[in-house]
Amino acid sequence: MSDAKTVIQQGQAVLGIEFGSTRIKAVLTDDEGHPIAQGSHTWENQLENGFWTYSLDAVWKGLQDCYASLRKDVKEQYGEEITSLAALGISAMMHGYMPFAADGRMLAPFRTWRNTNTGQAAAELSSLFCFNIPLRWSISHLYQCILDGEQHVGDIAFLTTLAGYVHWQLTGEKVLGVGDASGMIPVDPATRQYDAAMVEKFEALVAPKGYGWTLSAILPRVLQAGEAAGTLTPEGAALLDPSGHLRPGVPFCPPEGDAGTGMAATNAVRPRTGNVSAGTSSFSMIVLEKNLSRPYEVIDIVTTPDGNPVAMVHCNNCTSDINAWAQVFAQFQQLMGQPADMGTIFTRLFQVALEGDADCGGVLAYNYISGEPVTGLSEGRPMVVRSPQDRFTLANLMRSHLYAAVCGLKIGNDILFNEEKIAVDRITGHGGYFKTPGVGARILAAALSSPISVMETAGEGGAWGIALLACYMVKGGGQPLDQWLDSAVFAGSKGVEIAPSPEDVAGFNAYISSFTRGLDIERAAVACKA
């Protein structure tokens, strides 16, 4: 305690804040990157006028509440107030669409990664660039707005992501880390800047519209991990900490997306390493040694925070339906007059899943709260499907939900491992899906037919990852990011590796076969607006 207390007193602590899909989390570390305090705020997206969004009011109230929660934790643990920091970093769910006018007005509500209305734009841009452009990328949203004739487009002076927006408001700097930037429009791996040829093609494509801007002029400036990205302004300090205790002048690292922070938090930024983040959404990140042979619609090419190419499989749906079922079981427990502790409920439900049949006894779950691009669904209908002869037990029901949560990841990664023959030395899991020891990792190992590691720090998540990137900026000493993480953060880190069992692999393969055939049921439910 005394060491952490001194670090806080001397303003040498480092803070990372991440805007996740359901939680804003802050992690405070010491000057060596070890977590010493945290805070959080729960929030939820809203479906308004057909778009998944969060209001700007929710962004700032959530940030302030999260920071207040951190201050409270520091007070209770160390009896100290945070007045200064060695470094600070902001990260958020990747991509999406946040356009602003020259006077700083937001021109359209924030459109998150969850929106799937950009199909025409993504398809046309993928063809134009000869490069897979996903539905959620900023360039897809921008071009779809152009195709739809939205009036605000002509007034755009700045286009950014959620992480870039919050960073801008706190520092005055319109910048973005290369990992998050690579999901606005592709990044050239040679220059580690926006791909100049693609920018030129896009500008030529929209030139007949006569807008008073060019793409290169409205995008954030791209920075790599380790570069300085501005300092906390007096206005930013008041936004973050309305109590007035935090002083301005704190240096910021480049703002990043949650994929980049996940790579940092799992020490997976070197080629032949990978990680899987599984929570509200899920994504796998495999750092590539070579380019893929061709574009694939379900594989996105982004970068590590220091600019190395990464094959990303992103799924819009993961644990949200599991959460909904857990709430139902909690309600039943309350109905029976018993206390309902959600942590215990999740743990027991995850554990009982391992008692189910390897193929879930024929029970199928579709966890599609929203559309799922990996399987071509523009909308979602969560459902459980079974035939009369299937073994419908609690264990099989929960195992089916855990399988469904990673089916999309399997579909995408089968392409990487089976068709592209990508080699991986280590895949590390993190996020809520892996919180119950030995369960999520075992299921994912079966899905990917590959060993999965889970570190002791897996629960710290992306807020810790962006704190590490902030720490690297001030403590890296010119070392490459992967070497610094190895030596300064993860040396001697303990973790557990779970290898896939032949029975689990065979069971998951049988399940995914039935799951894929049954997608017509999901499509029919969407078509009839059930």
Provide DSSP, 446-477. Answer: HHHTS-EEEETTGGGHHHHHHHHHHHHHHH-T
Residues sharing a CB contact under 8 Å with residue 360, sequence separation 6 or more, in sequence order: 396, 399, 400, 403, 507, 511
Contact partners, residue 336, CB within 8 Å, separation at least 6: none
What's the CA gap between 238 and 246, in Å, rounded? 8
The helix/strand/coil state of 478 is coil
Q: Which two tokens stand for residue 162?
A: 């959620």
Tell me which residue of 52, 76, 53, 72 sits closest to 64, measured CA to CA: 72
Predicted confidence at residue 138, as pLDDT, reads 97
Instruction: Give the DSSP H or E segment for 36.
Output: strand 35-42
Q: Round the CA-based radius of gyration of the chain to a whole number and report it.
A: 22
**Which 3 state secondary structure label does DSSP give 142?**
helix
pLDDT of residue 431: 83
pLDDT of residue 113: 86
Is 0.85 topped by the overall pTM?
Answer: yes
* Antiparallel, parallel or unpaired: β 87-92 and 23-29: unpaired
Summarize pLDDT for 146-205 with one digit per residue, the tens: 999 999 999 999 999 999 999 999 999 999 999 999 999 999 989 999 999 999 999 999
pLDDT per position as a tens digit, 82-109? 999 999 999 999 889 999 999 999 999 9
pLDDT value of position 411: 96
3-state secondary structure 245-278: CCCCCCEECCCEEHHHHHHHHCCCCCCCEEEEEE
Give, in order, the Cα–Cα distances in Å from 239 to each of 160, 205, 286. 19, 39, 36
Residue 450's pLDDT is 93
Question: Percentage of the chain surpassing pLDDT 90?
Answer: 89
Q: Report the alpha-carbon distance of residue 239 to residue 357 in Å, rounded.
A: 52
Neighbours of 155 (CB within 10 A): 16
- Neighbouring CB atoms inside 10 A of 166's CB total 23
Q: How far apart are CA 251 and CA 175, in angstroms?
A: 14
Q: What stretches in the chain show pLDDT beneath 70? A: 1-2, 457-460, 494, 530
Label the pairing between strands 256-257 and 273-278.
Answer: unpaired
Contact 268, 455 (CB under 8 A): no
Q: At what angle do helices 502-517 and 440-448 cross, to 10 degrees?
A: 70
Residue matched to tokens 């892996």: 434
pLDDT of residue 460: 66
Question: What is the distance between the alpha carbons of residues 529 and 525, in angstroms, rounded to a whole number?
Answer: 6
Measured CA to CA, the distance from residue 86 to residue 472 in angstroms comes to 11
3-class SS of residue 430: strand
- Between the alpha carbon of residue 318 and those of residues 321, 324, 366, 371, 523, the distances in Å are 7, 12, 10, 12, 18
